[in-house]
């Protein structure tokens, strides 16, 4: 639909392909590939140039051009990720929330009360077989952070070797065993993760990044403080974005930087 929409608006403006390419400041070959469907995932920057030149907003160009991303939400809690990942752009196809050492699963009950019981699992993720998790495009999760939390002293923080820290390896297991791997990852944790454990600061995060790279993901991350966005608490969290090697974003991140000489 993206190619069809661009062509429709271009014809409405009575512009040839050459004229639109020149007006948008992109190459003629780039526009040809997009309009022919050879490139159905152009960069946001390119889409902005085209939409501005056609005097339409980007939503109009993208209307019905992309199917919603199928999302799996791990360590779902009461559904924080799901609140942000709304249809029609995202569709949660499976979720999991389990709190060990307690008979009453409060968070899972709140989740199902709000979003329904369909495709929701209230089972220890370590006991869920990968084949029982639907194929998906985006894996999200705020994996348990007690072993990294600032609520503990540095000496108490066991990091990736801690009782809950090891749940990271369930994420890794799912990614490793999935034949159709999710294209994207969005993970969240406390910023203490970056300097865990106390005896070898940064080791745990380095292991996570290396293990994701080994199974084909390029990763970028950032610490975001909720207090910088108008919220009343200084709540710092590290967000981890991963892109599988079949995506254009992976290729962009893996491309060597241009080096100027002289």
| Catalytic residue ranges | 145
For 61, other C-beta atoms within 10 Å of its C-beta total: 20
Block residue for tokens 């199974």: 215
- Characterize the bridge pairing of strands 120-121 and 217-225: unpaired
Closest CA to 43 of 249, 241, 244: 249
Instruction: Tell me how far apart the alpha carbons of residues 96 and 80 are, in angstroms, rounded to a whole number.
Output: 13
CB 199 within 8 A of CB 192: no
Measured in Å, how far apart are the chain's first and last C-alpha atoms?
A: 46
Helices (H), 104-167: 106-115
For 66, other C-beta atoms within 10 Å of its C-beta total: 13
């Amino acid at each position: 639909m993206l190619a069809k929409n661009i062509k429709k608006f271009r014809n409405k403006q009575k512009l040839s392909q050459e004229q639109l390419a020149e007006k948008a400041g992109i190459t003629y070959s780039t526009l040809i590939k997009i309009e022919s469907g050879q490139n159905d995932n152009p960069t946001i920057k390119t889409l902005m140039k085209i939409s501005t030149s056609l005097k339409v907003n980007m939503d109009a160009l993208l209307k019905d051009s992309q199917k919603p991303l199928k999302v799996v939400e791990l360590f779902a809690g009461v559904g924080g990720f799901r609140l942000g990942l709304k249809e029609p752009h995202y569709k949660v196809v499976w979720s999991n929330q389990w709190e060990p050492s307690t008979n009453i699963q409060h968070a899972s009950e709140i989740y199902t009360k709000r979003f329904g019981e369909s495709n929701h699992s209230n089972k220890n993720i370590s006991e869920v077989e990968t084949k029982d998790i639907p194929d998906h495009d985006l894996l999200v999760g705020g994996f348990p952070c007690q072993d990294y939390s600032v609520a503990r002293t540095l000496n108490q923080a066991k990091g990736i070797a801690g009782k809950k820290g090891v749940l990271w390896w369930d994420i890794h297991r799912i990614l490793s065993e999935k034949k159709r791997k999710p294209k994207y990852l969005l993970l969240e944790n406390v910023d203490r993760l970056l300097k865990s454990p106390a005896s070898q600061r940064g080791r745990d995060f380095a292991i996570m990044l290396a293990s994701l790279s080994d199974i084909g993901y390029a990763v970028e991350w950032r610490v975001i403080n909720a207090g910088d966005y108008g919220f009343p608490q200084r709540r710092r969290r590290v967000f981890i974005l991963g892109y599988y090697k079949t995506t254009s974003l992976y290729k962009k991140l893996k491309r060597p930087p241009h080096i100027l000489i002289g």
